[in-house]
Structure 1
Amino acid sequence: MNSAELALVQVSVPGDEDVPGYMRALETAAAYLPAEQLRLLRRAWAVGAAAHEGQVRRSGEPYITHPVAVAGVLADQKVDIETLVAAVLHDTIEDTPLTRAALASEFGESVAELVEGVTKLDKLQFASRREADAESFRKMMLAMARDLRVILIKLADRLHNMRTLGAQSAEARERIARETLEVYAPIAQRLGMNLIKSELQDLGFRALYPMRHRILDKHIRAQPLLRREAMAKIEAQIAQRLTKEGMGYRLVSRVKSPWSIYNKMRGEAKTFEQVIDVFGFRVIVGKVAECYHALGVAHSVYKPVDGRFRDFIAIPKANGYQSLHTVLFGPYGSPIEVQIRTEEMDLIAERGIAAHWAYKHGGDGPNSAQQRAHSWISGLLETESDTGSSLEFLENVKVDLFPDEVYLFTPKGAIMSLPRNATAIDFAYSVHTDVGNQAVAARVDRKLVPLRTRLASGQTVEIVTAKSSQPRPQWLEFVVTGKARTAIRQQLKQLEHEDAVQLGHRMLDSALEDLDSSLERLPAAQLDAYLAEHRYPRLEALLSDVALGNRMPAQVAQSLSRKDPARARAHHREDRILITGAERGVVTFANCCMPIPGDEIMGYHTAGRGVMVHRIECPNLAEYRKSPERWVDIGWDRVVTGDYNVALRFQVENRPGVLAQVAAAVAKAKSNIDAVEYLERDTNVSVIQFAIEVRDRTHLADVIRKVRRLGVVHGVQRQ
């Protein structure tokens, strides 16, 4: 430990008369802690104040007031002493001479680990602010996996920063507010911390759209006297009936926040009057059985709206939220929303993972909200190592923070929750990555459906798999969950790599054969020396680079064989590299001439993109002839798979119904139509271009034959 650290750790703790008001407020909020822990908290403040001495916030206040205020937010949640100490010291490692080792020595390893988990990464160099924020977020999620208290401190830190956002520049206010609404408020909601979520949303909305917030807030406060009287009358009627039933309860009226009203107005295209014209109440009782009793009482006072009852007690939300929700027909033509829950459910709904904090001290173990939070984070981190960048990881997390969920059943009756609009393929990947990779179809309520089918709550879903099946790029167009998207991308990359290795092997072997050599005949030492010289960890990496056009096979072959290229023998037709059409990412079919199986073709090696396949008669090949070293002699294999794009121009009579006749003839030939475009149109004749899919030249000839039989078609031409 250096002298500066030693001096900071050995600071004296002041007496009560020397403690400033902001610290007294924290100690009052933390009065639930025993006396010796309060003394430790004061010591943490003394060390933090000494460490931050001379530092001020943008508002001009001493910097230490910020971490103490963060600890105050957490003290309101009644968290443990380690969390409060870490909150007071959460910026010391980043902004002061104090080190992790010094904190561990003075306050213990747990506090040091929490502070390190919250510490940002601003000292590292990133290409952009977005990338830095994304990497900082990735680090925070990893730290959360080790200790959930990291996110408690981070959310409290963000909440106090939002409360004091006025000192920031306009640009910073907008950036921080947007990040709060897009990431931090949804995380608080995902972890069940409703109180913090609501305040983050309100502050974020006010900072991002100050005029909209001001108008909505004014309208909410200016509710007419008639509405207030109606609210009181409904509350009295429900309370009277609950009392008659002999129930112990708390009845609370609910007021919508500006942010929730704004979202409903925007998302459901409703007016302010339509959104605000809803009465909301919360009934809090002692036991679960009393929740259902209270539900019966509510339904006896006012009639329920059909299809608006939700039982989140039997099927909790993913964040542990439990409650009964029902909507009643109100006496003034306005609906009445009622939530019914126990005291414990209410505490968990408001505080989430911070409710009844039982982490390591004073409890049997984490509560259900904490367990659900751990499982959510574990699921995110399963995909973390597969994502290509921090930005991609952050986007996946944003996707997973959907506020609405669907609840589904496995064939064995297990309940699974997925984001709204999730598809059968999302369900498959949520079961297991291997199930997703091998999925071919799904059975929803015993009916066979495609994998792109969107799921609805209450359905039973079974995935049909086949060992030979593999993910398709089209799946990325309709998957919703980050886990599915990451797994599909990872598998496609792996398949592309395998195809690139195989094609690169064939291309390099062909080039070596020209020099009377082959990969098998090359001395191992010679090959290893080449790989080491060009920093390839394995032969597969070199072969992939060859296929992708980053290295020319002829040049690599010459270096490996150490032979004069003048001795190379001429290519023969049997030396062609044959393709099946299934080579992902390394063989591309040119849009200029659209080759299909059966065409005479030639390949052109493009750096980073692999082999671009052209028809021999393609007019663009004249330009490519200037680089003969990039030409690849290729042909079609005996078995070719897949559908191939081709463009056909039809000269037809210009009269109603002709387009439909041509489209029907194309469909009868079992060809998909991708696009249709009128190229020319006059009084008598039109030229229509169809972009269609065919298997090969034989299939194309069948399409042309069926279209030519139509009397309204005067000519067909392939582009």
Structure 2
Amino acid sequence: MFTIDDLADRLGGYLPQDEIQQVKRAFYYAEQAHDGQRRRSGEPYVTHPLAVANILANMHMDHQSLMAAMLHDVIEDTGVSKEALAEQFGKPVAELVDGVSKLTQIAFEDKAVAQAENFQKMVLAMSRDIRVIIVKLADRLHNMRTLGALRPEKKRRIARETLEIYARVAGRLGINTIRVELEDLSFQAIHPMRSERIKRAVSSARGHRRSAIREVQSTLQKSLDDEGLNGTVIGRQKHLLSIYKKMRDQRKPFAEIMDVFGFRIITEDVASCYRILGIVHNLYKPVPGRFKDYIAIPKANGYQSLHTTLFGSRGMPIEVQIRTREMEAMANNGIAAHWLYKAGQTTHPIAEGSHARARAWVKGLLEMQRHAGDSLEFIENVKSDLFPDDIYVFTPKGDIMELPQGATVIDFAYTVHTDIGNNCIACRIDRQLAPLSTRLESGQTLEIITAPGARPNLAWLNFVATAKARSAIRHALKHQQQAEAVQLGRRLLNKALAEFSTSLEELNDSVLESVLAELEQSQETLLESIGLGTRLAHVVARRLVDMDDDDKAERQGDEAPERQRPVMITGSEGMVTKFARCCHPLPGDPVVGHLSVGKGIVVHRAECRNLAEHRNDPDKLFALEWSEDIQEDFPVALRIEFESRRGLVAELAGLVTDADANIERIGIEERDARLSIVHLTLAVRGRIHLARLIKRIRNLPNVGKITRVGN
């Protein structure tokens, strides 16, 4: 059994004695705090924090991280407070422990909310000290190693959470030794039979191909020695989940996946990496398009290496990775390499760069957290941000920007800056104008064109790939909707007040303040709630009038009462005014507004059958009037019957275009051998424009009945 003395001996290799003593003191404190507690396996509970500290010792983490590992369950599972830990071991250790601890004092509705809230708490702690996540990953790794004592359904739940979040976080921070083990352990817990079969197949395949692997390895090593280059060639094993994903996604049998030989060449410096690349390309023919230079352009987690794929002597593909010893340490330990070098009282640019990138990533998480509506939305954004495949594009000044696979122009704009994303109107890719939805490819140069009054479009959410862009767009749209709801609420309240021959501007300030205090809302939130339909304008108006000292409710002026004046609409009110799809209202149609809770006004044609249940509810239904100055196009649906003949649909499309209208959707239905029906959705400026268009369609030969569709 592994003991604290065994750990102390290991720590002696890189920590001074006084720091080792502090780690031992933290262990004895945890042992006393957890006295009497046991794990599901029956072992004393303190074996878990000791094992977590041992994992961190493998990464040469500092003594405070090791102390936090010893104490990480003390706040959560015993009566010890954060303040008591700070008094005993110092504030940094107490903050680390608190960051790793779960939210135990709150009862959540379900496991998903609890998971999201706990991760959100951890992100806040990470922003203060990045070591929090490293301790948490080590804690999760040991929990995954000891899942055996849990119920099957709980195993699967923990494994899915590990796969979706913690393994991805480990990959994002470059800690690949932990990432690979977390992925394989999760795979074993979720699919135990598949995992076992692949494990046996890998063992068998490795035995059959041992001679071929040894032959390639010795050939590579001999070539390096002949050229006088100091490099070590080692075989690279695929892990279980990687093999399973390739079999599933690429629909390949196991034999084809295992036919690829993987090797890693470790050398002394960057210059040697490129010289070795030349040697292996002379030795075996490279596969076109399969070379990647992650030394010149490192991955977001700091990973650096040269990757190439070659045709081997037996026709088998050979994958080769070439890197320095520092890059190897970075690839295995990621951000933890920062403390590995710190322990030796030295710094290294690779480790320092990785640390800076990790802090920038956490800063991005905090920005997402501020924009997210709730913890569940935040954690979904984080999950989508943790996919590892990246592309690299350039700004006009030549700066490299890293984006996930499938990213679009909008993602790039928000990566540069949130304001640039919000004000983006167009883009040039390699000096050519391109749509904002264009998916980017590595090596492209992008220039974003902005305009001061531009705003994000709801449709952008259909194609953006980054969590930052998605959360920023939602945040901007929410504020846009809020501003439009306030404006609409003001108009609706003034309309209601007009029935009492007054307006919001004419009311006494003290009256307004009294009602706002009574409702416990600010003027802006009150108007927003009226605009969104969650509070009725006439109820608020009545309360305002009743409190008015001048008793304006009884005032009868000389001018005509304004209660019949309809609300004016222009078609460009934004997100709080929507046009009903059931009846497609057009400028010129008699229209009414239906106040829909949480959405604002929905505009219907006055004769729309869907309004039958609201006809007698003046609070929900009110008169609207079209503005004379309308520039927008509006959709309208037509049903056209015609005798089938060749070329009629093409003629119809040409006629619509000539009439300065747009076809949004077209469908053809055959009623019988002679008669067909065209279902056409057009964008027109109004009722007069539509009438002119219908008149022109009637002049086409073989056209019969034309009907405007609206329930």
TM-score tier, shorter chain, comes to over 0.9
| Residue type at the aligned position of 1:267 | D
What is residue 626 of structure 2 aligned with on the other side?
636
Q: Which runs of 5+ in 2 are unaligned?
A: none
- Contact 1:604/1:613, CA 8 A, preserved across alignment: yes
Match of 1:716 among 686, 706, 709: 706
Q: Which runs of 5+ in 1 are unaligned?
A: 1-19
What is residue 553 of structure 1 aligned with on the other side?
537
Match of 2:27 among 22, 45, 51: 45
Aligned residue for 2:682, secondary structure, equals: strand
Q: C-alpha displacement at 1:170, in angstroms?
A: 1.4
| Residue type at the aligned position of 2:357 | R
Deviates more, 1:96-105 or 1:360-369: 360-369
| Residue type at the aligned position of 1:635 | E
Match of 1:211 among 167, 179, 193: 193
What is residue 134 of structure 1 aligned with on the other side?
116
Q: Distance in 1 between matches of 2:391 and 2:624?
A: 50
Deviates more, 1:249-258 or 1:425-434: 249-258
Q: C-alpha displacement at 1:398, in angstroms?
A: 0.9
Does 2:275 align with 1:290?
no
Deviates more, 1:382-391 or 1:84-93: 382-391
Match of 1:598 among 588, 600, 615: 588
Does 2:515 align with 1:504?
no
Q: C-alpha displacement at 1:571, in angstroms?
A: 6.0
Listed as ranges, the matches of 1:47-446 within 5 Å are: 47-223=29-205, 227-357=209-339, 362-364=345-347, 367-446=352-431
1:472-512 deviation per Cα after TM superposition (whole angstroms, max 9, x unaligned): 10000000111111111111111111111111111111221
| Residue type at the aligned position of 1:305 | V
Deviates more, 1:658-667 or 1:450-459: 658-667
- Contact 1:94/1:120, CA 8 A, preserved across alignment: yes
Aligned residue for 2:205, secondary structure, equals: coil
Q: Percent identity, aligned pairs only?
A: 49
- Contact 2:484/2:574, CA 8 A, preserved across alignment: yes
Q: C-alpha displacement at 1:41, in angstroms?
A: 1.5
Q: Distance in 1 between matches of 2:228 and 2:296?
A: 25
What is residue 11 of structure 1 aligned with on the other side?
none
- Contact 2:638/2:708, CA 8 A, preserved across alignment: yes
Listed as ranges, the matches of 1:475-554 within 5 Å are: 475-536=460-521, 538-554=522-538
Q: C-alpha displacement at 1:667, in angstroms?
A: 4.7
Q: Distance in 2 between matches of 1:461 and 1:25?
A: 56
Q: Distance in 2 between matches of 1:386 and 1:42?
A: 43
Q: Distance in 2 between matches of 1:342 and 1:629?
A: 73
What is residue 450 of structure 2 aligned with on the other side?
465
CA distance change for structure 1 residues 224 and 516 in 2, over 3 Å: closer, same or farther?
A: closer
Q: Distance in 1 between matches of 2:335 and 2:518?
A: 54
Q: Distance in 1 between matches of 2:59 and 2:556?
A: 78
Deviates more, 1:217-226 or 1:339-348: 217-226
- Contact 1:325/1:337, CA 8 A, preserved across alignment: yes
- Contact 2:512/2:544, CA 8 A, preserved across alignment: yes
What is residue 3 of structure 1 aligned with on the other side?
none
**What TM-score do you get using the length of structure 1 for normalisation?**
0.93
Deviates more, 1:624-633 or 1:557-566: 557-566
| Residue type at the aligned position of 2:5 | R
1:263-307 deviation per Cα after TM superposition (whole angstroms, max 9, x unaligned): 112222222222111111111110111110111111111111111
Q: Distance in 2 between matches of 1:130 and 1:686?
A: 52
Deviates more, 1:143-152 or 1:589-598: 589-598
- Contact 2:174/2:302, CA 8 A, preserved across alignment: yes
Q: Distance in 2 between matches of 1:203 and 1:467?
A: 51
Aligned residue for 2:262, secondary structure, equals: strand
Q: Distance in 2 between matches of 1:425 and 1:702?
A: 39
- Contact 1:593/1:618, CA 8 A, preserved across alignment: yes
CA distance change for structure 1 residues 35 and 264 in 2, over 3 Å: closer, same or farther?
A: same
Q: Distance in 2 between matches of 1:307 and 1:703?
A: 54
Aligned residue for 1:628, secondary structure, equals: coil
Q: C-alpha displacement at 1:626, in angstroms?
A: 1.7
1:632-668 deviation per Cα after TM superposition (whole angstroms, max 9, x unaligned): 2211223334432221111122456554554454455
| Residue type at the aligned position of 2:308 | T
| Residue type at the aligned position of 1:280 | G
**What TM-score do you get using the length of structure 2 for normalisation?**
0.94
What is residue 646 of structure 1 aligned with on the other side?
636
- Contact 2:261/2:319, CA 8 A, preserved across alignment: yes
| Residue type at the aligned position of 2:683 | E
Aligned residue for 1:307, secondary structure, equals: coil
Q: Distance in 2 between matches of 1:674 and 1:54?
A: 71
- Contact 1:26/1:69, CA 8 A, preserved across alignment: no
Match of 2:690 among 667, 689, 700: 700
1:30-51 deviation per Cα after TM superposition (whole angstroms, max 9, x unaligned): 2322222222221111110110
Q: C-alpha displacement at 1:244, in angstroms?
A: 0.7
Q: Distance in 1 between matches of 2:36 and 2:275?
A: 60
Q: C-alpha displacement at 1:521, in angstroms?
A: 1.6
Aligned residue for 2:331, secondary structure, equals: helix
CA distance change for structure 1 residues 547 and 225 in 2, over 3 Å: closer, same or farther?
A: closer
Q: C-alpha displacement at 1:363, in angstroms?
A: 4.5
1:200-220 deviation per Cα after TM superposition (whole angstroms, max 9, x unaligned): 010011111111111111111
Q: Distance in 2 between matches of 1:249 and 1:271?
A: 34
- Contact 2:545/2:553, CA 8 A, preserved across alignment: no
Q: C-alpha displacement at 1:519, in angstroms?
A: 1.3
CA distance change for structure 1 residues 145 and 565 in 2, over 3 Å: closer, same or farther?
A: same
Does 2:11 align with 1:30?
yes
Aligned residue for 2:286, secondary structure, equals: coil
- Contact 1:192/1:349, CA 8 A, preserved across alignment: yes
What is residue 8 of structure 1 aligned with on the other side?
none
CA distance change for structure 1 residues 349 and 705 in 2, over 3 Å: closer, same or farther?
A: farther
What is residue 614 of structure 2 aligned with on the other side?
624
Aligned residue for 1:38, secondary structure, equals: helix
Deviates more, 1:587-596 or 1:431-440: 587-596
Q: How many residues align?
A: 699
Aligned residue for 1:97, secondary structure, equals: coil
Q: Distance in 2 between matches of 1:278 and 1:504?
A: 65
Deviates more, 1:431-440 or 1:352-361: 352-361
| Residue type at the aligned position of 1:22 | T
Q: Distance in 1 between matches of 2:201 and 2:537?
A: 72
Aligned residue for 1:617, secondary structure, equals: coil
Aligned residue for 1:596, secondary structure, equals: coil
CA distance change for structure 1 residues 550 and 163 in 2, over 3 Å: closer, same or farther?
A: same
| Residue type at the aligned position of 1:59 | S
CA distance change for structure 1 residues 376 and 528 in 2, over 3 Å: closer, same or farther?
A: same
Q: Distance in 2 between matches of 1:703 and 1:162?
A: 68
Q: C-alpha displacement at 1:565, in angstroms?
A: 6.2
- Contact 1:408/1:456, CA 8 A, preserved across alignment: yes
- Contact 1:496/1:583, CA 8 A, preserved across alignment: no
- Contact 1:558/1:564, CA 8 A, preserved across alignment: no
CA distance change for structure 1 residues 62 and 234 in 2, over 3 Å: closer, same or farther?
A: same
Q: Distance in 2 between matches of 1:360 and 1:599?
A: 74
| Residue type at the aligned position of 2:8 | E
Aligned residue for 2:456, secondary structure, equals: coil
CA RMSD between the two structures: 2.1
Q: Distance in 2 between matches of 1:31 and 1:656?
A: 88
Q: C-alpha displacement at 1:457, in angstroms?
A: 0.5
Q: C-alpha displacement at 1:670, in angstroms?
A: 4.9
1:211-235 deviation per Cα after TM superposition (whole angstroms, max 9, x unaligned): 1111111111111655221111111
Q: C-alpha displacement at 1:540, in angstroms?
A: 1.1
Q: Distance in 2 between matches of 1:673 and 1:276?
A: 53
- Contact 1:654/1:681, CA 8 A, preserved across alignment: no
What is residue 589 of structure 1 aligned with on the other side?
579
